[in-house]
Structure 1
């Protein structure tokens, strides 16, 4: 069977802008908010009124403010130190002072000074018991579970417990802070009693100053006590050091270590100089001695040629005499013979000169040896003397080091003792002159207006939050509402044309819906049915629309009412037969008041009744065929050849045959009857039918080869749609007004 769906449409539907994650449908958001505007407004009004009532029941709280200046102390008027950025140090100092100001000790002083333990706002004994004391219930239940005596659990509070509770309550009402980058600190106390709040703020500042003074006094007294004890220890240490120094001097017999050390040093210096000369002399004597020792075995003539011997004056003199004697012998030998008396006398003189020279050489050699031995002995003697002097000086140095060590110990103990003595005197003299580093600049005055609750702000916040909650609820409801709300939803999700919309009728007319077109009571409804009739007749001009099946997704969408009114609309132009094929839940006989037991389609197919008996004439051009007796096997009856033959027989008698079919998601009868029809009209209830369910039903029909001519959007709230701008002026151009409707 040919399909009436336009060839440019495909199944499933093509994705629209709604499938784009970046697409935001502002119109849909606005419509969702506008459709639920009264709910949002009601929520805002209710929440605002409840908040107003709650705020009006709150006890006003007054905040008293006192201003205090905290100065940083400096021990030095002029400090020649490196200039650094001390902003961080000052900030840490101010934070420390703020912490001290809000400490428990200061709060307890204020509580005691103002006797807040008996103030009705703080005293737990004077406060009203809550309607539901959960803490008390839990305490009693715990005591009962543990087997404790309930009389002990109900013991009244002690003074310490009351003081602790009042102090903690008072501390929770205190707020302090630095004003800008100054040294001014604001002290705020919030209470229901504005006079007590001002007194508490002022007393908090005074208590802080007094606590600082007392802390300084305690520190001074503690420091004085400690310094006295330390001074006694230092005095004993100094005395002990002096005794050790004196004992050591007496033990070593030291009178003037510096003088002894100077004399010894001079002696050591002279001995050193002499030892250097002796070493040089010994080296010279040793050199001559070694020359002599090396030439001793070569004869005395060789010894006479040694520079040390040769340079001796006597050796030179004897050398000269020997040379003259030899010259004389040589001269006489040229003149006389060897036996000449003159020659013999000359040789005798030469021998005597040589013997004298030899003797003198031996004496010089002996003198060199003696000189060497004396030089060695002298050097050794001086070395021993030097070592002795050096040992003496080292011993003196060791004693000097020990003396100086003892003197340093004495001096350090004396300096420390004097420093502590000076500091003790200063502390003792100034311990009563301590000044506080804080002073109150502005005292707190009783506030004229409460600081809390901020009625306007709370109401505005409640209204704003409720508005946001209402908007969020509306948007979430719209997102979760996966139904058809407009023709655009139908066309974008089902890819089918919308034949028309059927407006929502008033509640009092619900039972008369099948007769509205017949009677013409609702002109707007009648015009909608005519529009659907025209759309059906013009949907496919190439072939007649003889057999038309009208179905829906689930029961209750108004398909039977649409079928009845469509039958009356078509009967104004042509001959029409309306068949109630919903054999499980028939409605045609009941809606048109046919007698009980009237034969219908089930009787006709089963052969228990004739066609003339089953078809009921309602109008000149409109006949109806009810469902008849409800059979046990509706699907088998509709699938029998008798049903198809019946349709072929009546096609010649009628121009249009409308079949009221069961819903597609309830049974498969609609798919079966669609095979015998020329087209199918799918009815969808506005804002009720699920999109997924309608898609499933349409898909089943298309898979069965049905030709779906279009969709009727039923029970549309036209007023709401017109306000959304979707159907504005839909009926005005026909000359009908809403008042007439």
Structure 2
């Protein structure tokens, strides 16, 4: 159970975080925080009076998304603003050295002492123009800010200077230098392109002359004519022969058809019915005459007999016409044969001419290929010449005009008010920062302060039950004087009586109580004396001095330091009654005595336990003053034979870690720590009602005594 209690107490101490102490620390030192802020503000105001005012002017540059289309001609330098990084590139070019150097030259900053310095030594006097420009450029870059406006085509050029006019001039100068530089680059490229095109134009013109001469020489060498192309004449001739051959073939086919019909052996009646024969004039006349003779014979037969002379004459006439028709048909047949033979000969002639033209045209194809190669080269050269000539005229007509890729959209103007420093705001910031840092210092100091100054801190950091507090009595020196101040004043005495009440009401029968502390001088003997006096009011009480390391302890205060006491009793050299000192009717004192052996041997449980058992039968309460835990191990030998132990802490003396380690030593040997008492608590840290009443009473007495004086 003891070990479990130790672990639980340890957890309590480790998990106790006094957050309120930070606010309390700040509240207690609030006047210091305000005073530090006032001092810091006064110092900052004096220092700010030496700071020069700075003016900032800003020029806004619009970077074009596409070139201006003020001429119908294509420009040499184009750009695509949709490409990734275009505007970032323009912004970076605006900050390039060549642009800034051009701005320095145009603004003549290399002649301004504010930019090149006011040195008068010989080295500075002999600086070259470029060295002065470099110094002015470095000076300008320190106060120059160029940035792009996010998600826009705008860029801002800002300059900070003690002169509002100079800040505006530099901002506008840098922006204009960027525009002029990009414009000069475009004009330079345009001029170079024009010169290159003119040179190329001359070269192409010479090539055209040479290629035309080579083409003419080829035509003369091959005997070619350029009539509708190099093969136009032959093509025309072949077309004529082809048409004539077609006509001759048609005539031959027609003549052959007629001739074949006539030659097929048809009768005269069938032959004469052929259109080509019947349409002949002679045949038509003979047929008319035959019709008329047959008609006359028919009429004569109506009047005369078959043998009549007129009938016979008419018959003879018909036979004569038929004979003449047969002769005409035979002549017509001979004519058709002759026409067929003529048409056939004409066809063969044109066929021979066509074959000859084909052979000539095949020979012409090889010459045509050579001509076409030369002609194609010449045409391409002439086409390129036209393109270059047109581009040269486009570059020449606009003259020196080229539109800039950026414009000053909003020029910088001299600022009416300085941008920095904002002295009221800066002063406020300095004061607030100093106050905040001082508060942080107080918080860190409070966080790092592990000392115990109040009962609440003792409970949170050590896990000890708060039994009471003894305030610091100013002007009282010595333990006896403090004891008299407490015991002689009822309000002061309530501080000890409240501790007595805790002991009486405790759940354990606390008959034997040890008073311990971490270090010596923390008020252990004072508390033992005061508590024994309080308990002796209605109970038989014994106070024992077992502090063998403090020569000026209770034995020196309540008796004689050399008087025999508990040491002699434990050694068997004397009895309790012989060394006991009676202080009052209900209070006795057992001195320390003089030990010739170590207290670790003297306070062994075999010696100490029988003694305390005897004393328990004679006294209702026994208070033991033991040595400090860090002085010896006496308390570890004494605590197991007691009913409980009270830890005395001097406010602010030891850290909670050291006190916790001392408590752990005591509890390690089955010692029971019933609570703690804080000694010499300053007035502002008092928390108990008894302590506050004592403080108020003391303050009231001081005021009354001062008034009487």
Smaller-chain TM-score range? Answer: 0.5 to 0.7
Match of 2:317 in 1: none
Report if the CA contact (8 A) 2:469-2:691 is conserved: no
Match of 1:455 in 2: 423
| 2:392 corresponds to 1:399 | no
Mapping of 1:371-520 within 5 angstroms? 388=359, 391-392=362-363, 394-426=365-397, 430-431=399-400, 438=407, 442=411, 444-445=413-414, 447-482=415-450, 497-498=465-466, 500-506=467-473, 508-509=475-476, 511-512=477-478, 515-520=481-486
Report if the CA contact (8 A) 2:190-2:395 is conserved: no
From 528, 532, 547, the equivalent of 2:495 is 528
Match of 2:53 in 1: 60
Return the alpha-carbon distance in structure 1 between the equivalents of residues 166 and 70 of structure 2.
Answer: 42
Indicate the RMSD between aligned Cα atoms, in angstroms.
Answer: 5.2
Cα deviations by residue, 1:531-580 (Å, 9 ceiling, x for unpaired): 11111122147x4x432111134445433332233233334444443333
Secondary structure, aligned partner of 1:431? coil
Match of 1:704 in 2: 669
Describe the shift of the 1:650–1:77 C-alpha distance in structure 2 as closer, same or farther (beyond 3 A): same
Cα deviations by residue, 1:707-738 (Å, 9 ceiling, x for unpaired): 4333334444562465xxxx5x5656899557
| 2:139 corresponds to 1:174 | no
Secondary structure, aligned partner of 1:551? strand
For residue 463 of structure 1, report the CA deviation from its aligned partner. 3.9
Match of 1:12 in 2: 8
Match of 1:739 in 2: 699
Report if the CA contact (8 A) 2:227-2:233 is conserved: no
Secondary structure, aligned partner of 1:680? strand
Return the alpha-carbon distance in structure 1 between the equivalents of residues 434 and 659 of structure 2.
Answer: 36
Mapping of 1:538-617 within 5 angstroms? 538-540=505-507, 543=509, 545-555=510-520, 557-588=522-553, 592=557, 597=562, 599=564, 601-602=566-567, 605-606=570-571
Secondary structure, aligned partner of 2:421? coil
Cα deviations by residue, 1:200-244 (Å, 9 ceiling, x for unpaired): 445445555655565555445444443443333333333333334
Report if the CA contact (8 A) 1:588-1:626 is conserved: no
Secondary structure, aligned partner of 1:562? helix
Return the alpha-carbon distance in structure 1 between the equivalents of residues 230 and 695 of structure 2.
Answer: 143
Mapping of 1:205-244 within 5 angstroms? 207-208=177-178, 211=181, 214-215=184-185, 217-244=187-214
Unaligned runs of at least 5 residues, structure 1: 129-151, 279-312, 315-380
Unaligned runs of at least 5 residues, structure 2: 250-263, 266-351, 702-709
Report if the CA contact (8 A) 1:257-1:396 is conserved: no
| 2:116 corresponds to 1:123 | yes
Secondary structure, aligned partner of 2:425? helix
**TM-score (structure 1 length as normaliser):** 0.64
Return the alpha-carbon distance in structure 2 between the equivalents of residues 12 and 627 of structure 1.
Answer: 36
**TM-score (structure 2 length as normaliser):** 0.67
Secondary structure, aligned partner of 1:527? helix
Report if the CA contact (8 A) 1:98-1:176 is conserved: yes
Report if the CA contact (8 A) 2:13-2:461 is conserved: no
Return the alpha-carbon distance in structure 2 between the equivalents of residues 26 and 193 of structure 1.
Answer: 53
For residue 635 of structure 1, report the CA deviation from its aligned partner. 0.9
From 222, 243, 251, the equivalent of 1:252 is 222
Return the alpha-carbon distance in structure 2 between the equivalents of residues 601 and 548 of structure 1.
Answer: 16
| 2:623 corresponds to 1:658 | yes
Describe the shift of the 1:681–1:182 C-alpha distance in structure 2 as closer, same or farther (beyond 3 A): closer
Report if the CA contact (8 A) 1:242-1:410 is conserved: no
For residue 450 of structure 1, report the CA deviation from its aligned partner. 2.3
Structure 1, 119-128 or 667-676: larger mean CA deviation: 119-128
